[in-house]
Amino acid sequence: MDLQVVRQVAELGDWISDGDVVVLSGAGLSTDSGIPDYRGPSGSARRSTPMTYQTFTRDPIARRRYWARSHLGWRTIGEARPNDGHRAVASLQEAGAVRGIITQNVDGLHQAAGARDVVELHGNLARIVCLDCGDLTPREAMAARLDEANPGFAGVATAINADGDVELDDAELDGFAVVDCAACGGMLKPDVVYFGETVPPERVSRSFGLVAGARTLLVLGSSLTVMSGRRFVLRAAKDGIRVAIVNRGVTRGEPYADLVVDAPLGIVLPHLASTVATVSS
């Protein structure tokens, strides 16, 4: 880290040591786990348009295409493991410095690292929901059913996106079979928020409640391009709550931030966790 970053990280360490930190995390936190982000340095160039809720529910061909691509993508997302950044956030929570975690990610890696009571704004790819009866099932069970229904499917993904969707040649989709809800025969969907859907109001309300009680809002690995995450930065700035951002590259939250650290999260966060642990001991 250069001298400026060292000074910024030291200041951020003081803020975190004050306690009452709320973390808002984005895809950049999971890149060290092998999951590319959307727009940062490791982001894959998405050639296809992200799936919308309206298209998924109304177009059987698009739904079949999505499930084939997502089935391949799950092999990467499902095998991903927490990295040093996730573990550092969990450590800061365990130490009492972090009072809440809001994530835009759908990979479940915060919880896998030991974090508790994480608000998953956009849901979790590890769950499957029936849009008819509301039944929730584990993604592993869905993957097994899709494998059974498609014994000859051997598609090869050319790129994977942070939402678990992959790039796949349409020619490889021939004959792919989608399965329905085992309980009622209804339409199944990953329990995540698609484009065209709104984040459930209770998650938004809970997140705003966490921000309202914070001394510092710490944004990790998010470009804050979409309003679902940026609105919490806007609220914090409006209410006079300190906003700190650690991210590689430019973010749309910079005009509202009191401190911006452009450095690798896998280096900065373990250092902060170690510093806070030393101060509290």
Does 122 participate in catalysis according to the annotation? yes
Closest of 207, 216, 220 to residue 239, by C-alpha: 216
CA distance 55 to 173: 17
- Residue 130, annotated as binding a ligand: yes
Name the catalytic one among 86, 110, 122, 271. 122
Identify residue 22 by its one-letter amino acid code: V
In this structure, what are the phi and psi dihedrals at residue 102, rounded to the nearest 5 degrees? -115, 130
- Residue 184, annotated as binding a ligand: yes
Helix axes 265-280, 3-17, angle to 10 degrees: 50
One-character DSSP codes across the chain: --HHHHHHHHHHHHHHHT--EEEEE-GGGGGGGT---SSSTT-----SPPPBHHHHHH-HHHHHHHHHHHHHHHHHHTT----HHHHHHHHHHHTTSEEEEEE--SS-HHHHTT--SEEETTEEEEEEEETTT--EEEHHHHHHHHHHH-TT-----SEE-TTS-EE--GGGGTT------TTTS--EEEEEPPBT----HHHHHHHHHHHHT-SEEEEES----SHHHHHHHHHHHHTT-EEEEE-SS--TTGGG-SEEE-S-HHHHHHHHHHHHHHHH-
- Residue 181, annotated as binding a ligand: yes
- Residue 73, annotated as binding a ligand: no
Active site residues per annotation: 122
User: Which residues are annotated as part of the binding site?
Assistant: 130, 133, 181, 184
Write out the binding residues for Zn(2+): 130, 133, 181, 184
